[in-house]
Structure 1
Amino acid sequence: MSLTQRSAVVRRLIVSPGSAPQHSTAPAVASAAAVSAVLRAFGRPPEDLPARTVVLLGATAFDGVGPAHEGFTVRTEATPGRALRRAHRELHEGTADLALVAGFGEPDPWTITVYAVKRAAEAVADGDAVLGVLDVTTPADEDTVPPLRPLRGNPRGTDPDRHRLVCWSGRNADDEMRVRDELLPMLSGVHREVFPALPATVPCGTPPGPVRGAAVTVSALAARSVHKARTTDASHPRPVALLFPGQGSQHAGMAAGLYRREPVFTAAVDAALSHMGEEGPRIRADWLDPARAAIDIDDVRRAQPLLFAIDYALGRLVLSWGVRPTALLGHSAGELVAATFAGVVSLRDAVAMVMARVREAVKIPAGGMLAVAASEERVLPYLTDDVAVAAVNANQQVMLAGSKGPLTEIAARLKADGHTVVTVPATSPFHSPAMAPASDAVEVAYRAIPLREPKMPLYSGYTGALMSPEEARSPRFWARQITDTVYFRKALDELLAADDVLLIEVGPRQTLTAFARRHRSVRLGAGAVSPILPARAGTPEADRQSVLTAAARLWTEGHDLDLNAVARLWTWSEEETAPAAPRVPAQAQAQLA
């Protein structure tokens, strides 16, 4: 059974809402005080819980429990088993994003066992420690607590021709040279079948030093790549900010080389697509087999939902390495992905917002978008009818959008006057007045979505500044994004003025990377930018190589990554049935240590 159909227990704790157990023999009673204890069982204040958190009480005795408590829905069942099964149903019916289930009388009459239950795919994507998945099919008796089954083991693939990351470090330049001199002969002599199983970092078992090197390589080129690699002084790592691209960055097969080759990315894509209803499987099929796609990737029905899923999954992948970004910035539709990571909206609700945009966008007459190598001031005299400036991305790069006929005429006039004009892959005139009916329609739908203020700095391309709590909670603010101009350049100015940061573009095609490289801060070396995917469509191995190159950049910048998590890019595969990874010979282990 797919993870998207499973529910996972990610935390389990025994609590007592009253006096100490050793001094009480009275059974625990479901009361308002007990619900408060459940909400705080795991040390998180209620305001940090997802907006769609439901508390399910499995008890035989109730004392003044209402249908809501501290702003959260409370439901009651006769037994803990029934409460856990109801949690599973509510999570997959979409009425809850987190279920806190209280089993009263477990394991003793005076105690409560509290379970935190999530959809399994999202638990894996979020990096939760999954205790097990609920087996709600057995036993048939609903009053019995369903057993927890282990999450299926990760298949392993050890293809020696797959790229992998080799990291090393030293306390100073001389120490780094010593480590590298010990590493090189071992890489030259190691059998190619053993190469994938070598530790990801050298020396093993000691804290990484400030002088660092890294190489993304295959077995045959490992020694040469390590020998030629440049080292950096990583004493003062720049904080990380994530950039999420929007429509126009998509291409056929984008990031498909990571799917079923990395568990967090795979689970995150599946989680996002699972919330798209019947369209989810169709979008996945068109993505993985673009030659037989029913709908073209540039059609809004494919571009925006799939871009959301890919951006979201790549962001989850970077976070799984232990990276904790200090700021987020999305371009156009990418702003909704950034808002998901900032805690403004849940994954399910963010997907609902994307699908509402798509549903209304297809009702608008066909249009398009143009990228023009000119300033906003230079293109204004060319604008007619409903064509507008859709985005200001850099000093000499703007986008125009509007209905198809007027846009074609403006493109011809711009080219005749010597301007460079490139058609953006889009079939809808986003960020133009033509989209006003769609904006009004989605605002109505957005009013039913729980929206919260950001939990971390979130820069908006529509205001060019930090998103305020009032903007984040406004359905109108999110609906207007369909018609309003994107001021990415201004937002990037604000982000880079706040600190010298390492920007990571978590999306396809490197569009935002190109814009960021033109920024004065990056050109002067104060800030920096690194893409996570290739600039154009390529092989599946090119996708993995590019992601590993981004991980190498984070390592040499000075960020202490979870390299066991990074290693899944060359040791994990859902499709392969390769034998277990070969053991590293004891002599090689000793050399690496």
Structure 2
Amino acid sequence: MSPPPSNLKKVAFLFPGTGSQHIGMGAGLWAEYPEIRKNISLLESRLGYELKNYMFHGPDAALFPGLFSDIPTVFAETTAVLGLAIAKSLAEKTSFPDFAAGRSFGEFTASSFAGFFSPLDCINAIKKTIREGQKICVRNPSSLVTVYGPGKPGTAWLLKEMKKAGHSCELAIFYERLKVSVLGTERKSLDTLRKLLAKKGWRSSVSREPGAFHTSLFRDLSSDIPLFLEKAALSDPKIPVFLNCDAEKCSRKKALASKIALGVSKRVYWQETLENMLAAGVRVFVEIGPGIMLTEFICELPRDAVALKTDNAANFAGTLDFLKKNAKK
């Protein structure tokens, strides 16, 4: 598999992070596509244990860990395995994309697909990161809270008011077009945050996953990730990977390792990543795996750009057909 000629529409594969998982994900793809069955089974054989039954049947507790529990779960591994299997299947039947990126923990998967480290090393790193994150959250419970409607001025006001009230609260992700903010705060601060939201009439939802990842509450975890990668065979990626912490593309293994580590305790610049991809000439965004990453809603796409899905058999078929036609132009 080699990158497509430069006269074609540039393609980016986008990998989801936590929060995208759901019971039944991948079941239709498994039933319809032998290549996806092959690639999932290959990854499972390398891991030494099965994940597809968790994808297809749950239980719910395996995909959504208890908020402040350190009992091991498989929610991140299942999303990574499914994403890698889908991406590999597409690349085998069409051509390799020009760029890759992953939102939140999806950047581990994106980096593995790009050749930075093996799928086994990737999934082991994700697993260790999530496990250590759960332990941090048991010691100091925290959550990510999605707030709908504040925009930039409103978000700045919320952060200022939380600080005045003596609470730690940080911006983890911001979607300007949607006027959606994802804030990270300690669990003990949620009541204060809810009262401030009520004053403005803004809706909110608390993430089902534990921990205010992408905030300084997980700074110690950023220091641990290089240790998780010590035994991994790292390589320069075959294609540039856009990273969460600065929305810039990266093509060197040393910088990639450093930025992945930073990503767990720094704000996610996802909207900026999409905008920078557009500036780099990307016109085909392929959303890999479960869930919908709302590319076209987060970032205003030009008329010649398209966002494609792979979350079910019908969408995968349409995406595969589109990429085949693009590769022949």
Alignment of 1:433-444 (within 5 A): 433-444=216-227
Following superposition, the deviation at residue 516 of structure 1 comes to: 3.1
Contact 1:393–1:515 (CA under 8 A) maintained in structure 2: no
Match of 1:375 in 2: 151
| Mean CA deviation greater in 303-312 or 317-326 | 317-326
- Residues 1:482 and 2:253 aligned together: no
Normalising by structure 2, we get a TM-score of 0.83
- TM-score if structure 1 supplies the norm length? 0.48
Partner of 1:273: 44
1:263 aligned residue:
34
Where do residues 39-54 of structure 1 align in structure 2 (5 Å cutoff)?
none
1:524-539 pair list within 5 angstroms: 524-533=302-311
**CA distance, structure 2, for counterparts of residue 390 and residue 271 of structure 1:** 35
The 3 A distance-change label for structure 1 pair 399 and 455 is same
Q: Does 1:451 align with 2:234?
A: yes
Task: Decide which moves more: 242-251 or 429-438.
Answer: 429-438
State the partner residue of 1:239: 10
**Conserved 8 A contact 2:114-2:237:** yes
- The sequence identity of aligned pairs, in percent, is 20
Q: Residue 184 of structure 1 corresponds to which residue in structure 2?
A: none
> 2:187 & 2:250 partners in 1: Cα distance?
33
Tell me, in whole angstroms, the C-alpha distance in 2 between the residues paired with 1:465 and 1:263.
36
Change (3 A) 1:472 1:338: farther
Q: Which residue is equivalent to 1:550?
A: 319
Where 2:73 maps in the other structure, the secondary structure is: helix
* 1:500–1:526 contact (8 Å) kept in structure 2: no
- 1:310-459 correspondence runs (5 A): 310-365=82-137, 366-373=141-148, 374-383=150-159, 384=162, 385-395=167-177, 396-459=179-242
Q: Please, which runs of 5 or more residues in structure 2 have no aligned partner?
A: 2-6, 66-71
What amino acid maps onto 2:43 in structure 1?
Answer: A
Q: Which amino acid aligns with 1:551?
A: L
Q: Distance in 2 between matches of 1:411 and 1:549?
A: 42
CA RMSD in angstroms comes to 2.6
SS state at 2:136 partner: coil
Are residues 380 and 407 of structure 1, via their aligned partners in 2, closer, same or farther at CA, if it must alter by over 3 Å?
farther
2:63 paired residue number: 297
Give deviations 1:55-79, integer Å, cap 9, x for gaps.
Answer: xxxxxxxxxxxxxxxxxxxxxxxxx
Q: Distance in 2 between matches of 1:355 and 1:499?
A: 34
Q: Tell me which residue corresponds to 2:52.
A: 284
More relative contact order, 1 or 2 (CA 8 Å, 6+ apart): 2
Write the distance in 1 (CA, Å) between the matches of 2:87 and 2:152.
Answer: 31
Of Structure 1 and Structure 2, the greater helix share is in: 2
Q: Is the 8 A contact 2:248 2:276 kept in 1?
A: yes
Q: Which has the higher Rg, Structure 1 or Structure 2?
A: 1
Q: Deviations over 1:145-190 (max 9, x none)?
A: xxxxxxxxxxxxxxxxxxxxxxxxxxxxxxxxxxxxxxxxxxxxxx
Partner of 1:49: none
Deviation track 1:239-295 (CA, whole Å, cap 9, x = no partner) reads 221111111222222112222542221232233334445xx33x43332222xx272
Using the TM superposition, name which of 251-260 and 407-416 deviates more: 407-416
Call closer, same or farther: CA 1:544–1:479 in 2, change over 3 Å.
same
Which amino acid in 2 is paired with 1:246? G
In structure 1, the residue matched to 2:78 is 306
Distance 2:45 2:195 in 1: 43
Aligned equivalent of 1:464: 247
Partner of 1:491: 273
Report the alpha carbon displacement of residue 545 of structure 1 after superposing the two structures with TM: 1.8
* Secondary structure at the counterpart of residue 501 of structure 1: strand
Q: Partner letter of residue 371 of structure 1?
A: T
CA contact 2:240–2:251 (8 Å) conserved in 1: no
Q: Which ranges of structure 1 fall in alignment gaps of 5 or more residues?
A: 1-125, 127-235, 534-542, 562-593
